Amino acid sequence: MRWLRLFAIPAILAGVAVPLTWGQDVPSPDAPPVSTVPPGDNSAASPLPRETLHVTSNLVTEYFTVRDKRNALIPNLTKSDCSVFDDRQQQKLVSFKAQATQPLTIGMLIDTSGSQQYLLPLEQQAADQFLGQILRPKDQAFVISFDIGVHLEQDFTGNVHELEAAINRVQINTGGGSGQIGIPGAGQGPFPTQGDPKGTVLYDAVFETSTQKMNLQTGRKALILLTDGEDEGSDMKIGQAIAAAQNADTIVYVILIADPQFYGGYGISMGYSGGAAMHDLTLPTGGHVINVGHNGKKLENAFDEIEEELRTQYEAQYIPSTPLNGSFHAVDVACHDSQEPKLKVQARKGYFSIPNNDNAE
């Protein structure tokens, strides 16, 4: 059974909010302006509908992490150590927190296409352990599998046992291909889909979870993808997936895990190109790629690294000094300390502002 994707519904284009037909009800966000594809990225076929940007304040919230030259996280910077630039203009910070404490929402996206058949048990074990460690009271997560379609296995919950059960029941699904055939949407049903996508609809998965799940949440948000990074058959382009994640103010992490035997037994360099695309997908959102090959210990370490980052985030808030006319605002965050004049900052690259009637042309 397939439902029409949210982005295909004409009412969206008319600016009419469309109620979700699956999942639990969540409050409308009171969030800062959100971003889309950064300047220079022409891979998106068209801009995302502006109706995703419903906010009641001009306040922008920027979450970021800071590392030194040895790549170690810096946890105790102060407001005077960091500057935020919006369209190249330094902003006056309304607030600055050295450790973000807002509830955390995590989307766990698991590649269940044929290329992951021998890696899936390893991924399930590590994902179970990660969610058991990171979730605290008021945090929540959901589980998605993606292959020839995008499937909601477990909706928002803070119950670790329910999340583990969902992760452990996902199956490889090639839709009649070379791998084991699973049951799409074995949890709480499939995402809306259109037509008959085939292969590994990775970009569709990021787009749909961002627009239909993360966009309705407030606070800190992250998608974690367990995949070899190869997309086959998505309706969405990579730029549209990036835009959707940025518009939902969501960090995207990719744990790159690939089976060399699937790519001919010559390592993942033969016939494999997922790594470069995943760097392009993650960096504009403030995330990054962690390549673990097919090593179980490296996979555990990757989850530990993501957990440490999410627990060591800074939060800076400001009201943009530049006109809010619906244009793209490039954002840059710069930090320093007594030891290093310029530290490495990991943050989203910008956002689309909501037109202000007083400033709109």
Per residue in 121-166, pLDDT (tens digit) is 999 999 999 999 999 999 999 999 999 999 999 999 999 999 999 9
Q: Which CATH number fits domain 104-310: 1.10.3720.10, 3.40.640.10, 3.40.50.410, 3.40.50.720?
A: 3.40.50.410
Residue 12 reports pLDDT greater than 60? no
Residues 297-323: what's their mean pLDDT?
92
pLDDT band at 300 (very low <50, low <70, confident <90, very high): very high
Please, what is the angle between helix 274-282 and helix 238-247, to 10°? 30
| 182-195: average pLDDT | 42
pLDDT at residue 340 greater than cutoff 90: no
Residue 176 has pLDDT above 80, yes or no: no
> What value does the mean pLDDT of the chain take?
78
What pLDDT does residue 259 have? 80
Q: What are the residues whose beta carbons fall under 8 Å from the beta carbon of 319, sequence distance 6 or more?
A: 58, 59, 60, 91, 92, 94
pLDDT in the model for residue 273: 62
Helix 296-310 with 120-134: angle, nearest 10 deg: 30
- For residue 356, the model assigns a pLDDT of 63
Task: Tell me the mean pLDDT in the region 46-53.
Answer: 33
Domain ranges of the chain: 59-99+316-361, 104-310
pLDDT at 213 over 90: yes
User: Which residue would you say has higher pLDDT here, 95 or 34?
Assistant: 95
Of these ranges, 5-9, 219-223, 244-248, 357-361, the one predicted with the greatest mean pLDDT is 219-223
- End-to-end C-alpha distance for the chain, whole angstroms: 45
The answer, yes or no, to whether residue 178 has pLDDT greater than 90, is: no
Of 17-31, 56-70, 302-316, which one has max mean pLDDT? 302-316
Helix, coil or strand: residue 132:
helix
Per-residue pLDDT, 57: 62
Q: What is the pLDDT of residue 73?
A: 92
Q: What is the DSSP letter of 190?
A: B
Average of pLDDT values for 44-67?
59
For residues 7 and 195, the answer to whether their CB atoms sit within 8 Å is no
Task: State percent of the chain over pLDDT 90.
Answer: 55
Query: How far apart are alpha carbons 1 and 29 in whole angstroms?
Result: 30
